[in-house]
Amino acid sequence: MTPVSRHPPSRRIGIIGLGMHVPPKVLTNSDLEKIVDTNDEWIQSRTGIRERRVVEPGTTTSDIACLAAHDALKAAQLDPRDLDLLIVATATPDMLFPSTSCLVQHRLGASAAVCFDLSAACSGSVFAMVTAQQYLLTGRYRNALIIGAEVLSSFIDWTDRSTCVLFGDGAGACVMAPVKRGGILATDMGSDGSAASLLYMPGGGSKHPPSHRSVDQRMHFLRMNGGEVFKVAVRRMADSAKRVVKQATLKPEHVECFIPHQANIRIIEAVAKRAALPLEKVYMNLQRYGNTSAASNLIALYEAVQEGVVTRGDHVVMVAFGAGLTWGSLLLQW
């Protein structure tokens, strides 16, 4: 049974500032038609994606992470020097080490913050938020900056039509701290390493260090069994979302907004159905950004708040799924 936590109102952790950044360069489905054997009709009908953003060559994950972080710190009215904890969730770090969070810390001037990266692929921002919540609940840390940031365009095989149409670059950020009202009411996380081969990048680590062979065999690009990932994603996300709603002693009809990982409109529709969450309460922006992995949930939450879809007092369920496999959700009151 996956552990689920609930917290009394006296010690609730919430979001006090949000930020996001997507690179300005738009790559449409028609642009992709010129690169691989695909078409707009296939991509839209199978995924819901119309376009995605990609960085210019040379732009790194830490670059876009910093831009999202600036917004979130400003919204939280927090001086970077007062930041206690900084977690970057990413599957596409600038380098294997040092952590991207250390690079971001230096550029933000957050010299007092403890920094580490969190590797949970597309579940990264939800995992990082739950992790930060645990640190903040102890009282040892006063605040935390969570960033989900990805430059997936550097790890995508642009000759593989089954994956290159799905992903995009972007960053989302939030500042978390104890709150007097609202905040996180329930959380849920899970992992299943037995299915690691469904979505992975074989090259570049200790198993297949960079070599002529690893490059020739295109090992430094993402590989995925899309059909299998699809099936597991639906089951895991729906069950996780149901668990947090139950643990918060709420019913699906009490949830005002559902913010799923923005991977595929068909996955999201199936999750909503299985979790008994009406589609009109499900926020989607994947049509504009594609799957931005660890950035996805935070970018979606940012836009849902900006658009007034999420307003004060609303119950929001964020749910994610990714390589690992990993999945997680949290229910928060805005």
Q: Which residue ranges make up the site for ligand UT7 (CB under 6 A)? A: 38, 42-43, 46-47, 122, 161-162, 165-166, 224, 226-227, 229-230, 233, 261, 263-264, 291, 321-322
- The partner residues of 178 in beta bridges, in order of sequence, read 13
Q: Which of 309, 264, 308 is nearest to 283 (CA)?
A: 309
- Residue 21 is among the residues annotated as catalytic for this protein: no
- Residue 291 is among the residues annotated as catalytic for this protein: yes
Residue 122 Cβ vs ligand UT7, minimum distance, rounded to whole Å: 4
- Decide: helix, strand or coil at residue 86: strand
- The catalytic residue among 29, 164, 257, 261 is 261
Residue 140's Cα: distance from chain center in Å? 26
- Residue nearer to ligand UT7 on the CB measure, 146 or 165: 165
- Residue nearer to ligand UT7 on the CB measure, 131 or 293: 293
For residue 11, the 8-state DSSP code is: G
Q: At what angle do helices 100-108 and 61-76 cross, to 10 degrees?
A: 50
Residue 285 Cβ vs ligand UT7, minimum distance, rounded to whole Å: 15
- Residue nearer to ligand UT7 on the CB measure, 116 or 230: 230
Write the single-letter amino acid at 157.
D
- Residue nearer to ligand UT7 on the CB measure, 162 or 285: 162
Residue 9 Cβ vs ligand UT7, minimum distance, rounded to whole Å: 33
Residue 172 Cβ vs ligand UT7, minimum distance, rounded to whole Å: 15
Residue 262 Cβ vs ligand UT7, minimum distance, rounded to whole Å: 9
- Residue 261 is among the residues annotated as catalytic for this protein: yes
Here the contacts of 300-309 (C-beta below 8 Å, separation 24 or greater) are: 300/172, 300/259, 300/260, 300/262, 301/15, 301/18, 301/172, 301/174, 301/259, 302/18, 302/19, 302/20, 302/172, 303/20, 304/257, 304/259, 305/18, 305/334, 309/257, 309/283
% helix, strand, coil for the chain, step of 5: 40, 25, 35
- The catalytic residue among 66, 291, 297, 315 is 291
For ligand UT7, the nearest residue by Cβ is 226
- Residue nearer to ligand UT7 on the CB measure, 137 or 195: 195
Locus of tokens 């069994």? 225
- Residues 74 and 76: their CA atoms lie apart, in Å, by 5
- The catalytic residue among 115, 122, 164, 257 is 122
Active site residues: 122, 261, 291
